[in-house]
């Protein structure tokens, strides 16, 4: 921590997430499927905010809350429960908080969302950005003015990018990497934007555009290059049971930032982010699935696999003496003892 200077600055759209798990089969039009599990909690930009805060980072979030039940609930969780600074956020009268229903099946999920364009833009919310140590941002086709201001303030920008529904994958978006310290796309996004045919080739192209390039590969782990230190790292994913993959990429990004602020070697940063993301998929939702130091310490203290003990041995010197209290996971329903039968009335 650095006095009154936030460790992490975030801005983006917040959602109220309702996650359904244990479907048995994908939804089919005309059928009713009973889910065995359900969880709810803040989503969207909240995924990054909670993941960062649970690693002890002072986190400043600029977002918009609706003046409805969902907005009040998300605000209470983020500020009251998770300690996220919301001084840059606003509550909009008459604007409904976006709501997403996430239907998890296998290692992926489908999202159904209802929402409207927020009444305040990112540039209005952030204004003249505080001199944060880092900012985690989601690059969009239209550059945000606050991003250049933050970079000029000395804030290190860690960026990712989302799926392009137009499938144009405009390489012009990569021009924004000139403002960034690190770029962390997934494998499909990295190859699409760089016009390459492999994660390694995409990493090579991106490493020429940004000091730290990371490509996440889902079940194949992640690869990264740090041009500042001259390091290359490749780490496998953890072998974990996936309940819900919602927000795992956000947990990866926030964890990589936390380790980077600690000036860890690249391989440790990458392993730590892979671990945190792997732990998150065992719980419902995105934000409240983040493990924090408490979850990492529990995993490490119960680990018996000798190979993983060696690979993650650095945690013995990294985990704080006090990892904090147990984290709050998403409120869930218990697994149903049997599948209900009979038609809907």
Q: Where are the domains of the chain?
A: 8-333
312 in Cβ contact with 344 (< 8 Å): no
Give the pair of three-digit tokens for residue 166.
Answer: 């137009």
Predicted local distance difference test score (pLDDT) of residue 107: 67
Predicted local distance difference test score (pLDDT) of residue 240: 87
Strands 222-226 and 212-216: antiparallel
In the predicted model, residues of the chain with pLDDT beneath 50 are: 1-2, 335-336, 338-339, 341-343, 345
Rounded (10°) CA dihedral 192, 198, 202, 205: -120
Tell me the C-alpha distance between 344 and 32, whole Å: 8
CATH of 8-333, one of 2.50.20.10, 3.40.1190.20, 3.40.50.10480, 3.40.605.10: 3.40.1190.20
220 in Cβ contact with 237 (< 8 Å): yes
Predicted local distance difference test score (pLDDT) of residue 341: 46
pLDDT (tens digit per residue) in 218-263 = 889 999 999 999 999 999 999 988 887 788 999 999 999 999 999 9
Counted residue by residue, the chain has a size of 345
Kindly report whether the global pTM for this prediction surpasses the value 0.85. yes
Q: How far is CA 278 from CA 42, 53, 241, 331, in A?
A: 20, 18, 9, 20
Predicted local distance difference test score (pLDDT) of residue 345: 46
247 in Cβ contact with 39 (< 8 Å): no
Predicted local distance difference test score (pLDDT) of residue 104: 78
Q: Find all residues with CB under 8 Å of 278, minimum gap 6, and list them.
A: 237, 238, 240, 248
CA neighbor of 99 nearest in space, from 115, 80, 83, 84: 115
Q: Which long-range contacts (CB under 8 A, 24 or more apart) does 26-34 make?
A: 26/105, 26/110, 27/103, 27/110, 32/344, 34/336, 34/339, 34/340
């Amino acid at each position: 921590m650095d006095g009154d200077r936030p460790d992490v600055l975030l801005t983006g759209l917040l959602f109220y997430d309702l996650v359904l798990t244990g479907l048995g089969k994908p939804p089919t039009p005309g059928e009713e499927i009973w889910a065995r599990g359900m969880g709810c909690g803040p989503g969207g930009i909240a995924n990054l905010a909670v993941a960062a805060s649970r690693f002890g980072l002072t986190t400043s979030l600029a977002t918009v809350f609706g003046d409805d039940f969902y907005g009040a609930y998300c605000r209470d969780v983020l500020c009251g429960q998770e300690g996220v600074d919301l001084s840059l956020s606003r509550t909009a009268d008459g604007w409904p908080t976006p709501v997403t229903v996430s239907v998890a099946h296998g290692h992926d999920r489908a999202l159904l969302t209802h929402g409207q364009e927020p009444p305040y833009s990112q540039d209005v919310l952030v204004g003249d950005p505080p001199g944060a140590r880092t900012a985690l941002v989601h690059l969009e086709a239209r550059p945000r003015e606050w991003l250049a201001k933050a970079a000029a303030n000395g804030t290190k920008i860690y960026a990712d990018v989302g799926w392009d529904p137009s499938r144009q994958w405009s390489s012009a978006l990569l021009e924004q990497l000139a403002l960034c310290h690190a770029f962390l796309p997934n494998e499909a996004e990295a190859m699409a934007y760089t016009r390459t045919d492999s994660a390694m080739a995409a990493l090579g192209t991106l490493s020429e555009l940004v000091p730290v390039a990371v490509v996440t590969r889902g079940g194949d782990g992640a690869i990264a290059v740090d041009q500042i230190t001259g390091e290359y790292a490749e780490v496998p994913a953890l072998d974990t049971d996936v309940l819900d993959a919602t927000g795992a990429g956000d947990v990866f990004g926030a964890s990589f930032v936390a380790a980077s602020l600690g000036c860890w070697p690249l391989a440790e940063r990458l392993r730590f982010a892979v671990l945190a993301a792997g732990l998150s998929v065992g719980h419902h939702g995105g934000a409240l699935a983040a493990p924090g130091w408490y979850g990492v310490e529990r995993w490490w203290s119960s680990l018996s696999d000798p190979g993983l003990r060696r690979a993650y041995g650095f945690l013995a010197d990294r985990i704080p003496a006090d990892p904090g209290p147990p984290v709050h996971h998403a409120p869930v329903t218990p697994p149903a003892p049997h599948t209900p039968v009979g038609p809907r009335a």
